[in-house]
Amino acid sequence: MMEKKLLINSLEVNYKIAGEGPAILVLHGWGGSSNSWVKVQDILSDQGYQLICPDFPGFGRSTPPPEPWGIKDYADFVLKFTQRLGLENFFLIGHSFGGRIAVKFSVMYPEKIKKLILSNSAGIKPKPSLKLKVVWRVAKVGNVLLTPRHMERFKDGAKNVLYIFLRNRDYVKAKGVMQETIKKVLDEDLLPDLSEIKNKTLIVWGQKDKLVPVKYAYIFKNY
């Protein structure tokens, strides 16, 4: 396995590549990196495949994007990355956040993909529960109460508490441009995109996934 770097639009991108044969491009989850897939790269490269896993901009050893990115921005990045490596037709694996990007990429560039593999893919916005509705109502009231200038310093702390309560610790851990990036990513619902996927798709899920429950696997399947 080799670790390499290249420049894409002034962004330094780190990636790992292993093996020879048909190419498999792996898109990691939020908070992950190419390190998350080293064992899979070892196994599949021994089976006669070439495994390529980039660190998305803002993750691992890749530099953050210059401004908050949405899902389409990351899909465009994947296109540029594959073009730089000369990948014309490949298997695409997307896990969690990487699944969001894989869905968008397959809709935008279906001719690039041999087969699509979605592993515990995020992308479908859940219907708000009663608890969630109450929390957002409280958040709106809190936003009004904290609007006066002398209260503004409490806003960020209150927002972090809200995201912790909603179990979105990724937002709290994110820094700088990546906090706005995760908000843009979470705001987009990919449900309408699912029916646009033309590539043959394998759906792989873990029964005990609490962040993206297995019920979403059946939503992906039915679309």
User: What would the pLDDT profile of 195-216 be if each residue is shown by its tens digit?
Assistant: 999 999 999 999 999 889 999 9
Summarize pLDDT for 8-28 with one digit per residue, the tens. 999 999 999 999 999 999 999
CA distance 38 to 86: 22
Q: What pLDDT sits at residue 138?
A: 59
Side chain identity at residue 107, one-letter code:
V
Q: pTM of the prediction?
A: 0.83
What is the residue extent of each domain of the chain?
A: 2-125+189-222, 130-181
As a residue count, the chain comes to: 223
Give me the pLDDT at residue 223, please: 84
Homologous superfamily of the 2-125+189-222 domain (CATH): Alpha/Beta hydrolase fold, catalytic domain (3.40.50.1820)
pLDDT tens digit sequence for 78-112: 999 999 999 999 999 999 999 999 999 999 999 99
Give me the sign of the Cα torsion angle 199, 204, 85, 186: positive
